[in-house]
Structure 1
């Protein structure tokens, strides 16, 4: 799989961010890679590697399921072939964003997220008040055969006051400027799997 910064798909994302600050690509990855990443997420869940996600930072960090109900595990290189391929693709996107938008993105961090049925994440921004490194958010969905009545949409609050609901269909990638778009995850009637990540620049916040 040969993703490079000049590929038309990555350039569409760059153009979308330049024009409106966010991008939705309904078929970002081949079905085989999306399925392999979903299997990897479920294997980690069954083996107890996913942990309840917290909100806040530092001493204020805490698990608050009334705000956020997903279970997560961070990706690191060398953990699995499918994850390494995904991280390589996202690094090509990082380079494309830097070349097209001069964002100075230095790295990409990402975690698996599994929302049990009924779980949600209340409206929030991805950039912390005391750390401005997160610049571009990226969410890849891993759910096969998602049906309209199953819920689980990503609800984005756009700059023009409109709302946009993105269903978590497997292979769909949503990319947006982290500081500009409040969003929430609506509850679903089945497990909801994703890879959530952030392109980060050198910032003024604490390391």
Structure 2
């Protein structure tokens, strides 16, 4: 496939969000860019640049491996060609979501997330109680040849009370409304890599 998804695919994500609040694209990113991003994540990990992720905000922020066990590093423009290409793609998706859904999304923040074997993230919402700027969550998976028996699924809790398990297959993307879908990361038998991010709006804008 092309390096970047075409406009109909971005529009399909917007349509899914409008209809059900979440979208799964099993083939979203090219194998070449997916591999380059995975290599970047591993290189940062080997250089000791990924830090244990924390939970909470402000004075309550702390590393609690009993809640989440991933190691992360935030992306910034200009760090690497692969990361810049991904950030440009996410900005194209941001513009499409604004065009189609009038969400008023102003920016996108994201980080690499590396889950060692056995690590997990307990059920949670992506929106903080005291900060509602995160509007849409987006998770891109970087794991080649992932098998169902290896675990590591994203378990998304749907409005009807059911749950959907999404395998972290390399090149796939899941997008969902941040304040409406509790979710968790199940333990995996192998290292699990992703780029996890949030499209944000102004804090004083209406929901």
TM-score tier after normalising by the smaller chain length: over 0.9
Matched, 1:186 2:186: yes
- Shift of residue 204, structure 1, vs aligned partner: 3.7
Q: Is the 8 A contact 2:136 2:178 kept in 1?
A: yes
Counterpart-to-counterpart distance in 2, 1:147 and 1:2: 25
Counterpart-to-counterpart distance in 1, 2:98 and 2:191: 35
Structure 2: gaps spanning 5 or more residues? none
Counterpart-to-counterpart distance in 1, 2:92 and 2:204: 25
Aligned length in residues: 204
Q: TM-score, normalized by length of structure 1?
A: 0.96
1:99 match: secondary structure:
helix
Q: Is the 8 A contact 2:3 2:30 kept in 1?
A: no
Corresponding residue number in structure 1 for 2:40: 40
1:149 match: secondary structure:
helix
Counterpart-to-counterpart distance in 1, 2:159 and 2:55: 25
Corresponding residue number in structure 2 for 1:130: 130
Q: Is the 8 A contact 1:135 1:178 kept in 2?
A: yes
Corresponding residue number in structure 2 for 1:157: 157
Corresponding residue number in structure 1 for 2:24: 24
1:67 match: secondary structure:
coil
- Shift of residue 2, structure 1, vs aligned partner: 6.9
1:62 match: secondary structure:
coil
1:199 match: secondary structure:
strand
1:56 match: secondary structure:
coil
Q: TM-score, normalized by length of structure 2?
A: 0.96
